[in-house]
Amino acid sequence: MECRKIGVIGAGIMGSGIVQVCALAEREVVMVDVSEAAIDRGISSIGATLSRSVSKGRISEAARSAALARIRGTTSYADLADCDIVIEAATENEALKLAILKQVDAVLRPDAVIATNTSSISITRLASASKHPDRFIGMHFFNPVPVMALVELIRGLQTSDQTHGRARALAEIIGKSPISVKNSPGFAVNRILCPMINEAIFVLQEGLATAEEIDEGMKLGCGHPLGPLALADMIGLDTLLSVLETFYGGFNDPKYRPAPLLREMVDAGRFGRKSGQGFYRYS
């Protein structure tokens, strides 16, 4: 069964991006967040991104208006009742996600798929919030969603072949290239990427080079399109810290310990781009 109506929980960096690509792919989308203000911010950021796409000639003005008309913002999980799939993209916190997923499971049709965009938390554990763990799957998008082609599909222990097939079909319909990865903290790509970013923060903390020099070094020396500290600011330092904590706890291995400077930045409310300051300042 094709996914025609899609629910997205969380109107932040990732939720907005997922809503945008689904709406552009001619899907009806219900976007849920805890406050009207968060929904308004999400919808206005989608509007601004789509306007940039129009001015660059990538989409027509008609496609922009049609995509925006397909998006409905709400603070009520009950509005997800007739969705074919719901993609959870709320804050990276296990207890919060379990609570959200329980509420969503209670309102969804029994044949609907529930996906989570978690960066690091066990899919099998999050699936325990559902009475139907066979219909639960990880769909891990990359930031910025409209630009990055990859989606990691992560099966929990009980995910069915049918659920995997439907998530794969949706990823392809919205123009993404899925890869299948086994359930393990951080899956495949973040398992490699996040320790590298953490090491860059240790290098900064030890005063070996400035943030600009570290980023320039990784761009010019390794061909990365964005330096690791600028990337950390884009991901969100609070999200990055949660991911590293999941690795540290999940593998019980000190090699994943978060850099103390990262923790201090989060304590100071410097979350990166989304708060206006991280390793760099943003206007």
Residues marked active site are found at 119, 140, 152, 190
| Least Cβ distance, residue 89 to ligand NAD (angstroms) | 5
Would you give the DSSP letter of residue 225? S
Residue with smaller CB distance to ligand NAD, 84 or 92: 92
Nearer to ligand NAD, 92 or 215 (CB): 92
d(CA 170, CA 102): 23
Between residues 38 and 211, which has the closer beta carbon with respect to ligand NAD? 38
Apex CA 251: angle with CA 247 and CA 254, to 5°? 80
Give pairs for 230-235: CB < 8 Å, separation 24+: 230/279, 230/280, 231/197, 232/197, 232/200, 232/201, 232/262, 232/272, 232/278, 232/279, 233/272, 233/273, 233/278, 233/279, 233/280, 233/282, 234/143, 234/144, 234/272, 234/273, 235/143, 235/197, 235/272
What does the binding site for ligand NAD look like in residue numbers (CB under 6 A)?
A: 9-15, 32-34, 38, 89-92, 96, 100, 117-119, 141-143, 235-236, 239, 274
Closest CB to ligand NAD: residue number? 12
Among 159, 170, 9, 163, which residue's Cα sits nearest to residue 98? 9
Q: Please, what is the minimum distance in Å from the beta carbon of residue 266 to ligand NAD? A: 12
Nearest distance in Å: CB 117, ligand NAD: 4
CB of 39 vs ligand NAD, minimal distance in Å: 8
